[in-house]
Structure 1
Amino acid sequence: MLKIENLHVSYGNVEALHGIELEVNEGEIVTILGANGAGKSTTLLTISGLLKPTKGSIFFGDIEISKLDAHEIVKLGIAQVPEGRRVFSTLTVQENLNLGAFTVEDEKTIKKNLEWIFSLFPRLEERKEQLAGTLSGGEQQMLAIARGLMANPKILLLDEPSLGLAPILVKSIFATIKEINQSGVTVLLVEQNAKAALKLAHRGYVMEVGNIVLADNSENLLTNPAVRKAYLGG
């Protein structure tokens, strides 16, 4: 479904990605692990069209998307949930969700997606007239994911969805991601909670300073001594 070939991305004169290769098959949850500054968020931002590569290609199916604008990429079926939630704090929950659907022209699809999202996140339906900025951190994360789903994506890019959340909320968010995947949405997940991510994902990639240094199925990564030492606490 998604294939990255020899991807190089720079911030000014500093190269952040040094020719990475990555692929995501339809129906999978794939996770990218790595320390801060490894290039995980840069990878997602480049897939989304918010950053442009200096070299290399990104294919969504058979369409080369690395030169497309971000809104064109969303229309193809790729939506990103950014790190730090980034909800529109002065708009209501419902208005945030409406903005998520701005590329979807079919009203029936929008209505169907909204009903599905409220079944996933009943708390959001309860608070749909509430300003997003007054929600708790966990509720804002729910809203950020829900807003991404309103774009009716084929693949959802999630950047650190558990960041700053209490352990009980982390468990809930990961259970919801699994449910989203089981409904037919492919997921590419960037996450520092390596253990939770690998238990959820089918496969994983490990990034270090702009390079992918390891790629394997989740079971093997969970038992890999180097991964255990670096990301799983021994």
Structure 2
Amino acid sequence: MTLLKIENLHINYGHVHALKGVSLEVGEGEIVTLLGANGAGKTTTLRAISGLLKAVKGDVLFNGDSLKTVKAHDRVELGISQSPEGRRVFSTLTVHENLSLGAYSRRKKDWNVVEKTRRFVYDLFPRLEERKNQTAGTLSGGEQQMLAIGRALMAKPKLMLLDEPSLGLAPLLVQNIFKTIREINKQGVTILLVEQNARAALKVASRGYVLETGNCVLSGSADDLLADEAVRKAYLGEK
């Protein structure tokens, strides 16, 4: 079953035509990755799905329904959450408070489920529980990334948008983050992953799309993209 479908999406930043007719699909239970150089339109695509950017043309469908008139905060309630590029944690709030804000749309109606989700996040990232009363600004980069992912999970999403989760992290932490992405997916969360580390992304994903200057130029299974000569040269550092 198709959970997310993007049809001929066009996005402008002022006079810049950032997305030029992007179409893609994400099936329920999949991990799908978006690859491309800086400026290709990957983050723009995620922001359009979240409702933070308005389409000039085209549509985003979630569970078969158009999101054209659905505001960003209402999309969270429908089951779409995002862990943004650069983490963007609330630095003056504690780990616990950051997680509580992630559950803002849910906490009044199902507090017990919120606490169960928090328990899942702490089991996934034991370091966060150790630092739950520490302000987020004092965490390491890796810990802040854990917190950003944990905060997105607190909304109990059906679809999770992950934007550059390994950016700036040491290799060992990168391995842990991708292991965690698999674990989140096993719990039934569909994932759309934007990631500069193309090799790691394609190893965790089932399918992928390649964006170039706002266009989708290639798509296929992760294995096919890993074997594609153009992808290997452009994104895997092979000659």
Q: Sort the TM-score into its range (normalised by shorter chain).
A: over 0.9
**Paired residues of 1:46 and 1:66 also in contact (CA < 8 A):** no
- 2:147 is the alignment partner of 1:130: no
The residue type equivalent to 1:151 in the other structure is A
**Paired residues of 1:47 and 1:66 also in contact (CA < 8 A):** no
The match for 1:78 is 80
Equivalent residue in structure 1 for 2:65, among 53, 57, 63? 63
The residue type equivalent to 1:157 in the other structure is L
The match for 1:22 is 24
Equivalent residue in structure 1 for 2:194, among 170, 173, 190? 190
Paired residue secondary structure (1:9) = strand
The residue type equivalent to 1:216 in the other structure is G
Q: How far 1:186 moved relative to its partner? A: 0.3
The match for 1:221 is 225
**Paired residues of 1:157 and 1:189 also in contact (CA < 8 A):** yes
Cα deviation code 1:67-125 (max 9, x no counterpart): 31110000000000000000000000000000000011311110110111111001101
Equivalent residue in structure 2 for 1:103, among 105, 110, 126? 105
Q: How far 1:14 moved relative to its partner? A: 1.3
4+ residue stretches of structure 1 with deviation over 4 A? none
The match for 1:49 is 51
Q: Distance in 2 between matches of 1:224 and 1:66?
A: 35
The match for 1:141 is 145
Q: Distance in 2 between matches of 1:67 and 1:109?
A: 29
Q: Distance in 2 between matches of 1:208 and 1:83?
A: 19
The match for 1:203 is 207
Equivalent residue in structure 2 for 1:36, among 29, 35, 38? 38
Q: How far 1:66 moved relative to its partner? A: 2.8
Q: Distance in 2 between matches of 1:83 and 1:211?
A: 21
The runs of 5 or more residues in structure 2 that have no matched partner are none
Q: Distance in 2 between matches of 1:151 and 1:60?
A: 16
Equivalent residue in structure 1 for 2:163, among 159, 163, 169? 159
Q: Distance in 1 between matches of 2:8 and 2:227?
A: 28
Q: Distance in 2 between matches of 1:145 and 1:229?
A: 31
TM-score, normalization: structure 2?
A: 0.97
Q: How far 1:12 moved relative to its partner? A: 1.1
Deviates more, 1:63-72 or 1:30-39: 63-72
Q: How far 1:13 moved relative to its partner? A: 1.6
Paired residue secondary structure (1:233) = coil
Paired residue secondary structure (1:138) = helix
Aligned identity (percent) is 65
The runs of 5 or more residues in structure 1 that have no matched partner are none
For the aligned residue pairs, the C-alpha RMSD in angstroms reads 0.5
The residue type equivalent to 1:108 in the other structure is N
The match for 2:173 is 169
Q: Distance in 1 between matches of 2:90 and 2:68?
A: 27
